[in-house]
Copies of this chain bind each other. A is one copy, B any other.
């Protein structure tokens, strides 16, 4: 099957969301010298495709996009798109403080047959709703690929207000939004947008909220843990979609164990990212190194991660 994101008008007639399921915010495997671990990229992509995920989102926060030099971003787009062989859609993060740089990334995404781009707000200046609206309209007007909005106020300082999302959802080139705010009230307000635009995809960032979001009407999740356990998150999406509460409870317990045992070992800012990358390293999939300015967690905390990872792997096997 060749995946192509359909033009928005088609969705409008169909009332189906532009994207549904698990879109993995893929890590960027790096060598210790900071260069791209290209073999690692290929293995991660294959791991995710085999796990049955509905989409791969490269160059997001989990992908450490802001920390990468342009050449790495370019290579990552090429290799990821090539490796999926158009069978799993690739979404490319183009978040940048410069509009021109974002558009350049979008053109590169298009050339490599990615299906859409994802953009958080420029993250240096705090913005008001007027700035935000004008910025996204400019970006969507000029992007050669459909655009997903990305709300992450902890990183970008500003929230895309529900009223602004409603106005932006009208734009023919804006397909959906990923919310990583963790704010349950905000997300419920966003969901009302689907009454007017059923094809507007609403995806939730924090995996701890995946099931409750889908039960409330969300279209899926962009969940970092799917780097390690892709099929687990796909199963959770399906369980929530099918309102299979027993299955949800079983998987939710595992997801919270991943969150606690793998992401939260160290108080360092890099704790979550180290958790994901150390797990993939343990599984033989890619190198564990982080790009500066994030520095690694202690050896003691790394050992705790592996200890929890082993316990979780056993539990998943016996699911």
Q: Taking beta carbons and an 8 Å cutoff, which residues of A are in contact with B?
A: 34, 61, 66-70, 97-101, 121-128, 130-132, 134-135, 138, 155, 182-189, 192, 195, 206, 208-209, 211-213, 215-217, 243, 245, 249, 252-253, 256, 259-260, 267-270, 291-295
Contacts and interface: CB of A to CB of B under 8 A. Distances in A.
* Minimum-distance CB pairs A-B, first 8: A66-B97, A69-B100, A184-B184, A66-B124, A135-B293, A188-B208, A184-B209, A122-B293
A138 B34 CA distance: 13
Contacts of A267: 128
Given A182-B184, A188-B252, A294-B125, A68 B98 contact: yes
28 contacts: A66-B97, A66-B98, A66-B125, A67-B99, A69-B100, A69-B101, A125-B269, A125-B294, A127-B269, A127-B294, A128-B268, A131-B270, A131-B294, A131-B295, A132-B293, A134-B292, A134-B295, A184-B184, A184-B187, A184-B208, A184-B209, A185-B206, A185-B209, A188-B209, A192-B253, A192-B256, A212-B212, A212-B213
Contacts of A211: 216
A123 B97 CA distance: 10
Interface centre among A98, A130, A213 (most CB of B within 10 A): A98
Contacts of A268: 128, 130-131
A215 B70 CA distance: 45
A213 B291 CA distance: 37
Contacts of A131: 268-270, 293-295
A295 B243 CA distance: 45
Given A69-B100, A128-B267, 19 more contacts: A66-B97, A66-B98, A66-B122, A70-B101, A97-B293, A98-B291, A125-B269, A127-B293, A128-B269, A131-B295, A135-B292, A182-B183, A183-B184, A184-B209, A185-B209, A188-B256, A189-B259, A212-B216, A243-B245
